[in-house]
Amino acid sequence: MKRIMLAALLVGAIAVAAFPQGYEGTIVFQGGHGAKALGMGGAFCALADDATGALWNPAGLTFVGPWIGGATSNRFSTGDFEGVGYQYVSGGFTYEGYAIGLGWANATAGQYYSASMYLGTVGIEIGGFGSVGVNVKYYSETIEDESASGFGFDIGLLFPITDQFTIGIVAKDVGGTTIWEDQTVTPMYTVGAGGKFLDGALTVACDVDLSGMSFAGAKAGLEFVLIENLAVRAGVVFPDADFSSYYFTVGAGLGVGDLSIDAAYVLQPEPGESLVLSATFLLGNLFAPAEEQAPEQAPEQAPEQPTE
3-state SS, residue 153: strand
Within a domain: residue 305?
A: no
Integer-rounded Cα radius of gyration of the chain: 23
Within a domain: residue 299?
A: no
Cα gap 19→197, rounded to integer Å: 27
Within a domain: residue 303?
A: no
Q: How far is CA 296 from CA 225, 293, 303, in A?
A: 42, 9, 21
Within a domain: residue 307?
A: no
Within a domain: residue 294?
A: no
Regions of the chain with pLDDT less than 50: 1-25, 77-78, 81
pTM above 0.85, yes or no: no
- 285's enclosing H/E stretch is helix 284-287
Cα gap 74→118, rounded to integer Å: 20
In a 13 Å sphere around the CA of 180, the CA atoms on its Cβ side amount to 16
Cα gap 248→215, rounded to integer Å: 20
Tally the domains of the chain: 1
Strand partners, 152: 137
Within a domain: residue 203?
A: yes
Say which CATH number the domain at 48 has.
Answer: 2.40.160.60
Within a domain: residue 164?
A: yes
What pLDDT was estimated at residue 23?
Answer: 34
Enclosing domain of residue 283: 2-287
In a 13 Å sphere around the CA of 105, the CA atoms on its Cβ side amount to 26
Within a domain: residue 127?
A: yes
